[in-house]
Amino acid sequence: MSTTDTRTLRVYRFKRGDGAEHFDEFEVPVGPRMSILDALRWIQLHRDPSLALRHSCLHASCGTCGVQVDGREELACVSAVRDHGETITVEPLANLPILTDLVVDVGEFFARFPEHPIIRASEADGYVRLEDCIECGLCLSACPVAATSRHYVGPAALVAAQRLLEEPRGADREDVLAWADRPEAAWGCHLGFECARACPAEAIPAERIMALRRELAR
């Protein structure tokens, strides 16, 4: 292990009222287990405290630190620097408005969801388990349909609808079906399966979208 090994991070920057979006480049010393999030926080601590980013749990459980690394959706906390090249480009998630730097407007993400239940845990198998979907937005960012249609609700919202049908927890089944039975909802998916590739949890968006369609076709 050499602590003098460095990589260049090209980081997307934007401040409101400042106008111009651009990339800043930072040389970052790299340790053997360093994640993209570690590298970004090193930049905050040692180079530029104004760099804004989202993170919370540091172990792929909260879903806040999603970014595009070299054009692919990743949770920064579990994306290893060593899996990338000498220059690593980090950008905010796509298909959501950018608030500042690497921070997207999560309100726009939740605005696409069906009714959001107050109970977000499953009791299906005799024990309680928090929902697998961590609402990170990676699937929406990766979705080719969402890239061309602003009105498509996207994979995570469809997963939420399918879960409501599976375990309603107070939701009205007919309301959920009506919400899903629209061209911009369950019928908008073009089977690109990019969501299945991007999902860092075990929510399996593509399979659940297909299950939702089967419910609608019954």
Partner 1 sequence: MRHDAHVLIVGGGGTGAALAHDLSLRGLGVTLVERGELTSGTTGRHHGLLHSGGRYAVNDRESAVECIEENRILRRICPGTFELNDGLFVAVEEEDLEYVDAFVDGCEACGIPAQRLTRDEALRLEPNLNPAIKLAVRVPDGTIDAMRLPLRFFATARRNGAVIRPYTEVRDLLVHDGLVSGAVLLDHVTGKEGEVRADIVVNATGPWSERVAAMAGVDVPIRPSPGVLLALRGRMCNMVLNRLHKSGDGDIIVPQRGLSVVGTSSWVVEDPDDLTVPEDHVERMYAEGSKLVPAVRSADRRAAWSAARPLIGSKGADTGRELSRTFKTFDHKETDGVEGFVTITGGKATTLRGMAELCADVICRKLDIDEPCRTRETVLLPHSAYYAAAAA
Q: Which residues bind partner 1 (CB under 8 A)?
A: 15-18, 33, 35, 45, 49-50, 52-62, 64, 77-78, 99-101, 103, 105-111, 113, 116-121, 127-132, 134-135, 169, 201-202
Q: Which is nearer to partner 1, 192 or 207 (CB)?
A: 207
Residue 74 CB, shortest distance to partner 1, in Å, is: 13
Q: For the chain, what percentages of helix, strand and coil (3-state, to nearest 5) are there?
A: 35, 20, 50
Please report how close the Cβ of residue 98 comes to partner 1 at its closest, in angstroms.
10
* Residue 45 vs 144, nearer CB to partner 1: 45
Q: For residue 162, which of 152, 176, 151 has the smallest C-alpha distance?
A: 176
Distance CA 167, CA 173 (A): 10
CA distance 117 to 108: 18
Min separation Cβ 84 and partner 1, Å = 17
Kindly state the smallest distance separating residue 217's Cβ from partner 1, in Å.
29
- Residue 134: CB minimum distance to partner 1, A: 7
If the CB atoms of residues 32 and 144 are measured against partner 1, the closer one turns out to be 32
* C-beta of 104 vs 185, nearer to partner 1: 104
CA distances from 166 to 57, 109, 118, 159, 161 (A): 28, 22, 16, 10, 9
Q: Specify the residue, 116 or 190, whose C-beta has the smaller distance to partner 1.
A: 116
Q: How far apart are CA 54 and CA 119, in angstroms?
A: 25
